[in-house]
Structures are given as structure tokens and as C-alpha cells.
């Protein structure tokens, strides 16, 4: 990233959500980055996001406005819904909550820069509003979205302006671990000590 300067960078692939977000965060919100998405169809190839809007719609909800807390839980449900029972693993009762959910969740519902930018702007502006209002010190993210959007969202998170951030990995209805996105690699892994045990 340091050596590329302003050369064009294309990103595609699949990995755990916390790693995707951290990769975007480390890249930063730079120009000349192309994001690719692979539709859930047999034989489909990775294709760059389009430019034109598909009129993607989403809902936003704020919860726990009266809780006395300096922590915020943000859920972003685009590919699949995120159930309250699943969020229980992240101790939501003692956190402020922001929820963003696609009007119709699907793996391929978000596939252009225009709609992605609109959603990302809403997430970040509402998150920063809540952070300022309640003096939030740590943000917790639960994300069910494409690899491309997760990277794109991470690119907007600011070391200078935003609180500490943990992004969690979802597995079998639980969030057993996450990454502190700004911590050094050797200390960024966070085990969710309150998570119920995953049966092996």
C-alpha cells in the first residue's frame, strides 16, 4: 500500500468479516481502488461494482437510547438478516445500538458504488452522531454483507476521528471472536469471553 502511491488497485476475494474490515481500514479511503463482487451463481466471475444505482433501499433503527453506556453496537444486515437472538452474544443490553438492514436481504443485492456510498455514508454519519452524543469510547460491529462492501465500509473508518473498534466474526449463531482493527497484528485478536461455547 505504501509503494503503490496512486496506482490503481483492484480488490476481490473471500475471508472472515473482521479481516475484510481491517483490510479496508488499513487501505484507507483512497481514490483509485476498484471493488469486485462475485454473484452467487454457478460459473459467475468476479465483476467490478457498477456505477448506476439499483435504488437499493435500507432501514435504520436506533435502540437503547436511554442506556448509560460509552459503547455502541452497530449491526449491518445486507446479505442476511441479523437476529436479535444472535446479537445477544454481544451483550446489547448495556450498549447503544444502531441497526441497518436491507429492505430485502440477499447476497447480490448491493452491487454498485452509488448505492454502497449511500449506505456507507448513512452508517458512518449516524455512528458519528451517536458517538458524539454519548461520548462513545468503543464501537462493536456485527456485519452480514458482501466482501466488497465490508472492505468499503472499513475504508471509511478513521483513526483520527472514530473510537476504538472491534469487528466480530459470526459462526453458528454466535460471535465468538473479533479483531481490534487498529491494534498491532500480534495483539488485535479479541476473544468474546461472554460468547456461549460453539459445539465442536
Residues whose CB falls within 8 Å of the CB of residue 32, separated by 6 or more in sequence, listed in order: 6, 7, 8, 9
Q: What is the DSSP string of 6-46?
A: T--EEE-----HHHHHHHHHHH-S-SSEEEEEE-SSTT--E
Cell numbers for 68:
448509560
Cell numbers for 31:
481514490
- pLDDT in single tens digits along all 200 residues of the chain: 677 777 888 888 889 999 999 999 998 887 788 999 988 877 778 899 999 999 999 999 999 999 999 999 999 999 999 999 999 999 999 999 999 999 999 999 999 999 999 999 999 999 999 999 999 999 999 999 999 999 999 999 999 999 999 999 999 999 999 999 999 999 999 999 887 655 44
The answer to whether 98 touches 72, Cβ cutoff 8 Å, is yes
Amino acid at each position: 500500500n505504501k509503494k503503490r502511491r496512486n496506482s490503481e488497485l483492484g480488490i476481490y476475494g473471500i475471508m472472515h468479516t473482521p479481516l475484510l474490515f481491517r483490510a479496508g481500514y488499513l487501505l484507507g479511503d483512497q481514490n483509485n481502488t476498484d471493488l469486485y463482487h462475485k454473484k452467487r451463481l454457478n460459473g459467475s466471475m468476479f465483476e467490478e461494482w457498477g456505477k448506476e444505482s439499483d435504488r437499493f433501499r435500507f432501514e435504520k433503527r436506533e435502540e437503547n437510547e436511554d442506556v448509560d453506556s460509552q459503547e455502541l453496537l452497530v449491526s449491518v444486515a445486507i446479505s442476511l438478516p441479523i437476529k436479535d437472538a444472535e446479537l445477544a452474544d454481544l451483550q446489547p443490553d448495556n450498549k447503544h445500538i444502531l441497526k441497518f438492514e436491507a429492505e430485502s436481504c440477499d447476497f447480490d443485492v448491493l452491487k454498485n458504488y452509488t448505492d454502497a456510498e449511500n449506505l456507507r455514508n448513512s452508517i458512518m454519519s449516524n455512528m458519528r452522531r451517536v458517538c458524539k452524543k454519548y461520548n462513545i469510547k468503543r464501537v462493536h460491529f456485527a456485519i452480514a454483507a458482501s466482501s466488497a462492501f465490508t472492505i468499503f465500509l472499513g475504508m471509511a473508518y478513521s483513526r483520527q476521528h472514530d473510537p476504538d473498534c472491534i469487528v466480530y466474526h459470526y459462526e453458528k449463531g454466535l460471535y465468538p471472536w473479533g479483531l481490534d482493527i487498529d491494534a498491532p497484528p500480534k495483539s488485535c485478536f479479541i476473544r468474546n469471553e461472554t460468547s456461549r461455547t460453539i459445539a465442536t
